[in-house]
């Protein structure tokens, strides 16, 4: 094995160890995160830090979440191979790429056209054919494709958005950060029951706020 291959294998091992040490223990999630290289999703100055467990800036003033948070949110979503998933906040596309290895189909929306275009380019390059990326106001979900088995929101709302709750199947799960944008938020798992909604508080997090409308580039 070459030195470069050794270094790559070592880096991947450390990456997975960091995920496990932060509580990502689901075997399917870890396998997906091992297969999807975070490197291509981070461009420019910060690309060398792609394998560190930290959030990093991307275009349009957004961020790519730290891998352990991506892993914990994905784990909390309990995705099965038959699920249709909606992601609100495409960002770099990293979260959607991981979901694509776990679900039947992933719809991902972002208010920034540039982010959707960049992410689509990466999805095509990785041959991830079950992702549909759209420029849209994610706070309203995707009514044309509803209902969804799973919904994941990668921006913080003050409360779980009503339109998204309405687009969740009975028995479906939504994972969403909730709280004021200038304070520590809480990651919530919402399960839709026949009789209403059940809420589980998972952990403190910090995300960019969920903003209505399209970005200026969109």
Q: Which residue from 149, 70, 155, 47 is spatially nearest to 110, judged by alpha carbons? A: 155
1-205: what fold? Rossmann fold (3.40.50)
Q: Name the band, by pLDDT with cuts 50, 70 and 90, for residue 98.
A: very high
| pLDDT at 117 > cutoff 70 | yes
Domain boundaries, the chain: 1-205
Q: Catalytic: which of 2, 21, 47, 65?
A: 65
Q: Which residue from 161, 153, 106 is spatially nearest to 130, judged by alpha carbons? A: 106
Q: Which two tokens stand for residue 203?
A: 């952990």
210 vs 143, higher pLDDT: 143
pLDDT of residue 182: 62
| pLDDT at 45 > cutoff 80 | no
pLDDT of residue 181: 61
Secondary structure (3-state) at 72? helix
pLDDT of residue 4: 67
| Residue 21 appears among annotated catalytic residues | no
pLDDT of residue 59: 79
Query: Cα 53 to the chain's mean position, in Å?
Result: 15
Q: Contact 211/186 with Cβ under 8 angstroms?
A: no
pLDDT of residue 214: 64
Per-residue pLDDT reduced to its tens digit, 120-166:
999 999 999 999 999 998 889 999 999 999 999 988 888 888 999 99
CA-CA distance, 34 to 29, in Å (whole number)?
9
Least confident range from 6-15, 16-25, 125-134: namely: 6-15
Query: Cα 94 to the chain's mean position, in Å?
Result: 7
- Count of C-beta atoms within a 10 Å radius of residue 46: 14
| pLDDT at 61 > cutoff 80 | no
pLDDT of residue 8: 72
pLDDT of residue 218: 45
Per-residue pLDDT reduced to its tens digit, 77-86:
999 999 999 9
pLDDT of residue 48: 77
Per-residue pLDDT reduced to its tens digit, 162-201:
999 999 999 999 999 998 766 678 999 999 999 999 999 9
């Amino acid at each position: 094995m070459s030195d470069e291959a050794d270094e790559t294998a070592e880096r991947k091992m450390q990456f997975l160890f960091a995920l496990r040490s932060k509580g990502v223990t689901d075997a399917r999630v870890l396998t997906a995160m091992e297969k999807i290289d975070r490197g291509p999703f981070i461009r420019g100055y910060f690309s060398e830090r792609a394998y560190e467990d930290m959030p990093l800036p991307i275009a349009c003033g957004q961020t790519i979440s730290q891998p352990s948070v991506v892993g914990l949110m994905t784990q909390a979503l309990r995705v099965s191979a038959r699920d249709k998933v909606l992601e609100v906040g495409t960002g770099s596309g990293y979260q959607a790429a991981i979901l694509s290895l776990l679900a039947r189909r992933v719809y991902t929306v972002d208010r920034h056209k540039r982010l959707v275009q960049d992410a689509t380019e990466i999805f095509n390059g990785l041959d991830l054919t079950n992702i549909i990326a759209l420029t849209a106001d994610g706070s309203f979900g995707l009514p044309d494709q509803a209902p969804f088995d799973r919904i994941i929101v990668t921006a913080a709302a003050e409360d779980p958005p009503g339109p998204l709750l309405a687009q969740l199947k009975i028995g479906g799960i939504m994972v969403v950060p909730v709280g004021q944008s200038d304070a520590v938020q809480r990651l919530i798992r919402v399960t839709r029951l026949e009789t209403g909604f059940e809420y589980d508080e998972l952990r403190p997090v910090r995300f960019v706020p969920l903003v209505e409308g399209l970005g200026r580039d969109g």
